[in-house]
Structure 1
Amino acid sequence: MSLKPSDSSENLILPVSDPPKDLDGERHHKADEKLFKGSAMTKRGANAAISYMTCAVLLVLFNKAALSSYNFPSANVLTLLQMVCSCCFLYLLRSWRIISFTANESLVISDNSPTFVSLKTLRHTSPLAGTYLLYMIVTMESVRGVNVPMYTTLRRTTVVFTMIVEYILVGQRYTSSVIFSVGLIVFGAFTAGARDLSFDSYGYAVVFMSNITTAIYLATISRIGKTSGLNSFGLMWCNGIMCGPVLFIWTLLRGDLKMTINFPYLFSPGFIVVLLFSCILAFFLNYSIFLNTTLNSAVTQTISGNLKDLFTIGFGWIIFGGLPFDIWNIIGQLLGFAGSALYAYYKLVGK
């Protein structure tokens, strides 16, 4: 069966925005059905959230292994390598016509275009590319700054920043049930971090900066992802070709590339395996972030990150350590997970 794009509705498209509609304007994509009767979340939305959580847990651990266990000198170079690998994957898949970059087959750009998308589309997605670059750089640095369990604890406060940004940008309002669940998450986060004996002011500051950039990035996805005509692959491609050159120049000027060349474990088999998995997981994580944010919401994307933290914290304690056992930390973690579970429940039942 040919994989060449056409106007046929039988072609497999992986949209970030709304699914295709029939002649009467009704959605007919079976995967877009509600998760269950009365649910506010679709089956596609639930699958996107689960995929994100799986990729996020694994990527944090592999990034931490590269930056801390192997002491890789530059988070920026790691980000650049992930971006280059993602662009290579996308270029090959698009050239072989396995994927499309648009949410509507009739909008597919001719393969004669060197970038696969129009310059007008690139200009339209440039704000997203800028916030993506800032988000990636700050987030990668924040992983190095604190231990894995405390990193995930502080990152849980991202949901507050996300709600504020969504309110400012689109006037999004939330029910009292959602506000209560978010308040429980934040209270649990501060309870868990109150007795952290490995306090690092710089590390904590970077994590909170990461929270702010994440909120702006997710809100930008929610807006531009629905108006650009691109699916998640197209948005990732635009980010890569616009952010890649900027990040390369930045690492060159900072001397990060020179440090990487002199890195003693650069050709170590163990480090190469860690680096390879980090790049592959970054590709799938970016895709799932775009899909989850647009199919659900920026806040749901943030809550999905909170729910997956149970596994991240457990693996972080086992593999990397760094957080002394403390009863208040345990209580805070449980409160945070309870708040995340409540939000997920309210999302499912539509409250």
Structure 2
Amino acid sequence: MSQKIGLLPVADPPPTRAISGGDDPLFKGSGMTQRGAYAAVSYMSCAVLLVMFNKAALSSYNFPSANVITLLQMICSTCLLYVMKRWKFVTLSATERNQSDSPILVPVKTLMHTLPLSIAYLFYMLVTMESVRGVNVPMYTTLRRTTVVFTMIVEFLLTRQKYTPPVFGSVALIVFGAFVAGARDLSFDTRSYGIVFLANIATAIYLATINRIGKSSGLNSFGLMWCNGVVCGPILLFWTFIRGELRLTMNFPDLYSPGFMAVMLFSCILAFFLNYFIFLNTTLNSALTQTMCGNLKDLFTIGIGWVLFGGLPFDLLNVLGQILGFIGSGLYAYCKVRGN
């Protein structure tokens, strides 16, 4: 059994090196373990690829509902986890304790313990979807980059986490670069700006909740994903039904197109791994590290997206801002690896 589990890393593993392997520092004095570095890089890779496939579904095929894509991804992830658990490829807890033979696979007490995480995820998901409306892309990117500040505040309030001057410097550089990137689009809209900042707060709360509950629930990354799916799936299904998005999906002309179905298949597979690596990266490293990885992968997303989809005019300030943000994220990564 332990050999099968060892094929897939889990958060909060037991101390046995045969199962948890890779917990050694990257090098002497490093503040990040090999597994932590693996989780961060894997998250960024999955995130970039998922954005490309979602962009293809929503733009190239003009699919009408992003919420339905999220619902399909959640259903596929939950079904895949159920099959993997029943076939004993994975466990849902860090140890064999807390396992359950009930249909929900985890004790009801554990499911209730993770309820704040599921609520935070729903809040994060719905507000983030709404935040895209009413704000142009450069300004949206600018405002969303400030999520790192909200993450630091939430981590301090929940865990009293404190940071060194180099970390503060890297965060300041990211925020400054974000505002440089959107400097030509500083049009003010109180409602739209408020929703984006609400999305930033929701993101920070969600990541901090992962970090907190992931270490107290006894569940690993797969277990946290499972509880999210069990709680949030039915609610999202009801939400898309009352908004008429399911009807729009059934009337979508390319619904059974082989190309569209392939795009959706890869989108669902990548979403499964992305959610897993979000949980793993946040629990092994920190909520702030997860946010920084999100900023760092933006550079690759923008570059690949420009090559594949075009439509992004060249702007010197935007490029300069992106470079400053990249340098800030790199500085934070250096501080994390060096243990500062």
Give the structure-2-normalised TM-score: 0.92
Structure 1 position 269 matched with structure 2 position 258 = yes
Q: CA deviation at 1:11?
A: 5.2
In the TM superposition, what whole-angstrom CA distance separates every residue of 1:199-232 from its partner, at most 9, and x where no partner exists? 9987766544332221110000000000000000
Matched residue type, 1:262: N
SS in 2 for 1:318: helix
Asked if the contact 1:149–1:316 (Cα under 8 Å) also holds between the matched residues in 2, the reply is no
Q: CA deviation at 1:269?
A: 2.1
Asked if the contact 2:139–2:186 (Cα under 8 Å) also holds between the matched residues in 1, the reply is no
Match for residue 11 of structure 2? 16
Matched residue type, 2:10: P
Match for residue 103 of structure 1? 94
Q: CA deviation at 1:163?
A: 0.6
Question: How many angstroms apart in 1 are the aligned matches of 2:256 and 2:192?
Answer: 29
Structure 1 position 312 matched with structure 2 position 301 = yes
Asked if the contact 1:16–1:294 (Cα under 8 Å) also holds between the matched residues in 2, the reply is yes
Question: How many angstroms apart in 1 are the aligned matches of 2:187 and 2:309?
Answer: 14
Q: Cα gap change, 1:142/1:319 in structure 2, threshold over 3 Å: closer, same or farther? A: farther
In the TM superposition, what whole-angstrom CA distance separates every residue of 1:311-351 from its partner, at most 9, and x where no partner exists? 10101222233332111111111111111111011111111
Matched residue type, 1:177: P
Match for residue 330 of structure 1? 319
Q: CA deviation at 1:59?
A: 1.0
Matched residue type, 1:194: A
Structure 1 position 189 matched with structure 2 position 183 = no
SS in 2 for 1:265: coil
Question: Where do 1:59-98 residues align within 5 Å?
Answer: 59-98=50-89
Match for residue 220 of structure 2? 231
Q: CA deviation at 1:167?
A: 1.2
Asked if the contact 1:147–1:322 (Cα under 8 Å) also holds between the matched residues in 2, the reply is no
Larger deviation, residues 223-232 vs 308-317: 308-317
Q: CA deviation at 1:142?
A: 4.9
Q: Cα gap change, 1:152/1:268 in structure 2, threshold over 3 Å: closer, same or farther? A: farther
Asked if the contact 1:196–1:323 (Cα under 8 Å) also holds between the matched residues in 2, the reply is no
Match for residue 292 of structure 2? 303
Q: Cα gap change, 1:296/1:38 in structure 2, threshold over 3 Å: closer, same or farther? A: same
Q: Cα gap change, 1:11/1:76 in structure 2, threshold over 3 Å: closer, same or farther? A: closer
* Structure 2: segments with no counterpart, 5+ residues: none
Question: Where do 1:1-351 residues align within 5 Å?
Answer: 5=1, 12=6, 14-17=9-12, 19-21=13-15, 29-105=20-96, 107-110=97-100, 112-142=101-131, 152-196=141-185, 206-351=195-340
Question: How many angstroms apart in 2 are the aligned matches of 1:240 and 1:261?
Answer: 23
Q: CA deviation at 1:49?
A: 0.1
Q: Cα gap change, 1:201/1:268 in structure 2, threshold over 3 Å: closer, same or farther? A: farther
Question: How many angstroms apart in 1 are the aligned matches of 2:324 and 2:157?
Answer: 28
Asked if the contact 2:92–2:219 (Cα under 8 Å) also holds between the matched residues in 1, the reply is yes
* Structure 1: segments with no counterpart, 5+ residues: none
Q: CA deviation at 1:102?
A: 0.5
Matched residue type, 2:39: A
Question: How many angstroms apart in 2 are the aligned matches of 1:258 and 1:178?
Answer: 48
Q: CA deviation at 1:71?
A: 2.2
The number of residues matched between the two structures is: 339
Q: CA deviation at 1:78?
A: 1.1
Matched residue type, 1:118: P
Matched residue type, 1:124: H
Asked if the contact 1:57–1:308 (Cα under 8 Å) also holds between the matched residues in 2, the reply is yes
Q: CA deviation at 1:64?
A: 2.0
Larger deviation, residues 199-208 vs 77-86: 199-208
Q: Cα gap change, 1:108/1:218 in structure 2, threshold over 3 Å: closer, same or farther? A: same
SS in 2 for 1:31: coil
Matched residue type, 1:268: S
SS in 1 for 2:217: coil
Larger deviation, residues 266-275 vs 286-295: 266-275
Question: How many angstroms apart in 2 are the aligned matches of 1:95 and 1:28?
Answer: 20
Matched residue type, 2:227: C
